[in-house]
């Protein structure tokens, strides 16, 4: 009887260790994700017979990252996030209008912890500090390549997530992320921009 109990314990330990092999010390992870604010829209104003104005916009962001598990369930990672926002407003019968483009790039080293919960669902928490560059162009600005401003500064990130392991080495990820940035103008003006944002994310991670 004791022998059977020992075999059962060994079996459970082997299953437990294999289920967490993807987040053990010495493992690597590659991830890609996008924000849940993917937006493409078109708005037309006027009456049933006459169009007086149109506006179009699209917005998206995506991030790529790589990490190394320095301890069981704890990884040190670096991610890069690119975001793009475009809007165009057309007014009047001559189709005169304005275009506005905002782009940003963030590089963020971060620490992520996977909570040791058994099963395919693994909650996690992450925090990081990085650097962000942001540029805005407006067609109404005639000089300096239509630049309104070009900003850069420190960014702070924190987030909670849930990973569902489709296989032992691939997970589908959902998360809620908070970010705070304080940016200063690189073109010489006194422009300062502060951003505080909550955002949902989804993505896929590969462990090896």
pTM of the model: 0.74
Domain boundaries, the chain: 2-207
Q: Rounded mean pLDDT of 178-203?
A: 84
pLDDT at 198: 87
Do you know the residue count of the chain? 208
Q: What is the pLDDT of residues 88-117, one digit of tens each?
A: 877 655 556 788 888 999 999 999 999 988
Q: Rounded mean pLDDT of 23-52?
A: 74
Residue 88, beta-bridge partner list: 56, 99
pLDDT at 139: 73
Greater pLDDT, 43 or 61 = 61
Q: Taking 50 as the threshold, does the pLDDT of residue 18 lie above it?
A: no
Q: Taking 80 as the threshold, does the pLDDT of residue 162 lie above it?
A: yes
From the options 3.90.230.10, 2.40.160.20, 3.40.50.300, 2.40.170.20, give the CATH code of 2-207. Answer: 2.40.160.20
Dihedral angle, C-alpha 193, 128, 198, 42, nearest 10 °: 70
Q: Taking 80 as the threshold, does the pLDDT of residue 196 lie above it?
A: yes
Task: Please report, for residues 13, 114, 150, 157, 174, the alpha-carbon distance to residue 109 in angstroms, rounded to integers and kept in the order given.
Answer: 34, 17, 23, 10, 20
Q: Taking 70 as the threshold, does the pLDDT of residue 41 lie above it?
A: no
């Amino acid at each position: 009887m004791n022998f059977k109990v020992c075999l059962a314990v060994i079996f459970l330990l082997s299953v437990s260790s294999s289920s967490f092999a993807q987040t053990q010390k010495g493992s690597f992870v590659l991830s890609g994700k996008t924000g849940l604010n993917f937006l493409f829209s078109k708005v037309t104003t006027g009456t049933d017979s006459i169009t007086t104005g149109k506006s179009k916009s699209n917005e998206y962001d995506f991030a790529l990252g790589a990490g190394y598990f320095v301890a069981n369930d704890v990884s040190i990672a670096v991610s890069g996030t690119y975001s793009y926002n475009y809007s165009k407003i057309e007014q009047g019968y001559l189709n005169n209008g304005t275009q506005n483009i905002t782009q940003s790039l963030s590089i963020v080293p971060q620490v992520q912890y996977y909570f040791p919960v058994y099963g395919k669902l693994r909650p996690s928490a992450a925090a990081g500090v990085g650097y962000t560059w942001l540029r805005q162009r407006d067609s109404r600005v005639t000089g300096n390549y239509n630049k309104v401003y070009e900003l850069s500064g420190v960014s702070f990130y924190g987030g909670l997530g849930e990973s569902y392991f489709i296989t032992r080495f691939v997970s589908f990820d959902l998360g809620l992320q908070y970010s705070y940035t304080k940016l200063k103008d690189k073109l010489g003006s006194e422009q300062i921009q502060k951003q505080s944002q909550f955002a949902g994310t989804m993505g896929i991670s590969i462990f090896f």
